[in-house]
Amino acid sequence: MLLPDYYEFCCRVKIVAGHDALEKIPDLLIERGAKKPLVITDKGVAGAGLIDIVSRALGDRVQADLIADDVPPDSDLRVVNRLARLYRDNACDAIIAVGGGSVMDTAKGINIVVSENAEDLMAFSGVGALKRPLKPLVAVPTTAGTGSEVTQVAVIKDHEKHLKMAFGSYFLLPDISILDSRMTLTMPPFITAMTGMDAMSHAVEAYYCLQKNPLSDAHALSAVGMIYRHLPLVVKNPDDREGRLAMAVAACLAGIAFSNSMVGLVHNLGHATGSVCGVPHGLCMAILLPYGLEYNLHKMADVMAELLLPMAGEQVYLATPAEQRAQKVVSLIRGLNEDLHAITGGRHARCLQEIKDREGKPSVPRDVLPQIAAAALLDGASIYNPEDTDYEDNLMVLEAAWEGKPLDRSRVKKG
Amino acid sequence: MSIIKDVQSGKKPLKRAYVAIFLWFTGRAIQAAAKVDSEVKKEFEKLPEDFTFSLGCLPCGPWMVVGREKGVVKYLGGDSRGRPVQVRLAIKSLDAGFLILSFQESTALATARNRLITDGEIPQALAIIRILDIVEVYLLPKLIASLAVKRYPSWWSFGRKLGGRIGVYTRTLLGI
């Protein structure tokens, strides 16, 4: 295990996990002096009946009847300001965010506005602008993937000015995260598959990228083992409550790992593919993960080899020659993608050319790969990747991922 | 009652001098590389017309300021006062600055270890890091440059390396 000269690690989130974890929320809010939370969610979550479960669990010990269920798929400044007014007008004293990344980001944005009594959210953008604790925020994730219930960042879009504002502060960490198996039980298999692979990409990249440290490593290793074991089972059997809880916990572990060690090429290319083609983030992560490993293998083979133990167990680890372990990890991840493809009846794409939109048209035509390769040069994740990347490197990886062929590692430029 | 004395931080004149000279030389070398190397030229062309960035050590310098003036890249000295700076790359302390600028730690590793703080647009900061990497390859022998950058560009042609090095050094020393 590598011991860096210096590193930072922070996760001061109270995490409650279980099949009935939601029922703990009233106690935790009362402990923090809050009795009237604003519940924030989106139409999809509300439509799936998850808010009813949350409301029943909250009971009448706190007054949680104010529910805003119109958070859009992309966080939006106007929505943040409108819901902040709703919070103030109703004298709320806490926020419960039930949903995925957009709901969490919106909740964090509202919390800045109401806690700082701010008119202009922009004044708090960037890193370190917040100087004091915010109002109590309870995060209830409804997917097992993003890890945003334990991350210290938020991205809010100003659609009028076409601006994307990023906020980073330890004060943005939710106070409480609730991992309850009921929240993911109804998630369709193909969404379970890609969000699970999103969590896998967080854990794996956290384990081999430049900011890795012993504390993030511990979280990443646990997450990798749990996801590899439980993800195919949960996709095959969506009603598996134990598996659902295991995946929620694994995604949380992976979130803690990557928010303290950052991510690299896989997210770098994934963000660019998402912004150019609008394809789901988790699917990009699933496809690109083996390529990120292959691209960095010549620099981090020993570190990547350690992932084989939690994935395949002691017998396989010992039976695999040390110099082949990293390559074996790549094969197992490719195999996992193949399994998920088979279980979901082909909906889980294995390569970029297999991603289709709702009309069945290819979402990532081959001729946009140069555009994606160029867009990736603007993304900060590249800084934490062990090997350097330029436009040609990005394009080479994207072409291999588009075709679904293993990366020709002899073409990777080495210093 | 015990007497409490304020502890003054050491001035570290040698480290400060090394960092100041390195930043002065690198600033002039960036100005030179923008004329000599097509990749550096392209990176600057993608940045705004009046773009300025600074690199230096917290809390009290030294600093290096480089900017575009009517499209021409210029080293603007060590003081950014009176000029808006779009990207500020701040090294946490003079000691950390010495660590990075004496090539004991690459820029990427320094960022990963929270020693280099970026204030400004990330895409522009990434462009500056790419420019700094190229300039370091021109200024330093391979053995040392390999420590400063993530990947030494061994695929560059001999002509680019030699011609670029002569051009960058000549222009840096003459300040043109």
**pLDDT tens, A63-103?**
999 999 999 988 889 999 999 999 999 999 999 999 998 99
In chain B, the residue whose alpha carbon lies closest to the alpha carbon of A206 is B112
CA distances to A276, B43, B82, B96, B140 from A201, rounded to whole Å, are 20, 31, 45, 32, 37
Res B1 pLDDT > 60: no
Among B18, B168, B9, B163, smallest CA distance to B98 is for B18
Res B82 pLDDT > 90: no
User: In chain A, which among 257-286 make CB contacts under 8 A with chain B?
Assistant: 262
pLDDT at residue number A116: 93
pLDDT at residue number A369: 98
| Min Cα separation A102/chain B (Å) | 22
Based on DSSP, count helices (H) and strands (E) in chain B, helices before strands. 7, 5
Q: Identify the three-state secondary structure at position A354.
A: helix
Mutation target among B151, B152, B154, B155 for the A interface, most CBs of A within 10 A = B151
Q: Are A117 and A168 in contact (CB under 8 A)?
A: no
Res A400 pLDDT > 90: yes
Q: Render pLDDT for A135-159 as a digit per residue (tens, 0 to 9).
A: 999 999 999 999 999 998 888 888 7
Domains (range + CATH), chain A: 14-183 (3.40.50.1970), 190-411 (1.20.1090.10)
Q: Render pLDDT for A358-395 as a digit per residue (tens, 0 to 9).
A: 899 999 999 999 999 999 999 889 999 999 999 999 99
On the 0-12 / 13-18 / 19+ scale of CB atoms within 10 A, A89 is exposed
Which of B108, B114, B125 lies closest to A8 in CB terms?
B114
**Average pLDDT of the residues in A287-312:** 98
Strands A126-127 and A137-141: unpaired
Contact A383 B146 (CB under 8 A): no
pLDDT at residue number A380: 87
Distance of CA A38 to the CA centre of its chain: 24
A6 touches chain B (CB under 8 A): yes
Q: How far is it, in rounded angstroms, from Cα A136 to Cα A33? A: 9
Contacts of A5 in chain B (CB under 8 A): 113
Res A322 pLDDT > 60: yes
In chain B, the residue whose alpha carbon lies closest to the alpha carbon of A129 is B119
Contacts of A8 in chain B (CB under 8 A): 114
Contact A415 B119 (CB under 8 A): no
pLDDT at residue number A165: 80
Contacts of B122 in chain A (CB under 8 A): 378-380
Q: Burial letters for A326-340: b for 16+ Cβ neighbours within 10 Å, e otherwise?
A: bbbbbebbbebbebb
Contact B151 A413 (CB under 8 A): yes
Q: Tell me the β-bridge partners of B166.
A: none
Which of B112, B133, B152 lies closest to A384 in CB terms?
B112
- Looking at per-residue pLDDT, the higher value among A119 and A8 belongs to A8
Contacts of B108 in chain A (CB under 8 A): 210, 383-384
Contact A383 B126 (CB under 8 A): yes
pLDDT at residue number A399: 98
Contact B111 A413 (CB under 8 A): no
User: In chain A, which among 358-377 make CB contacts under 8 A with chain B?
Assistant: 377
pTM for this model (two decimals):
0.93
pLDDT at residue number B10: 62
pLDDT at residue number B2: 60
Contact B146 A415 (CB under 8 A): yes
Domains (range + CATH), chain B: 38-174 (3.30.1050)
Contacts of A7 in chain B (CB under 8 A): 113-114
Contacts of B154 in chain A (CB under 8 A): 414-415
Sign of the alpha-carbon torsion through B78, B80, B81, B82: positive
Which tokens belong to A65?
């009847």
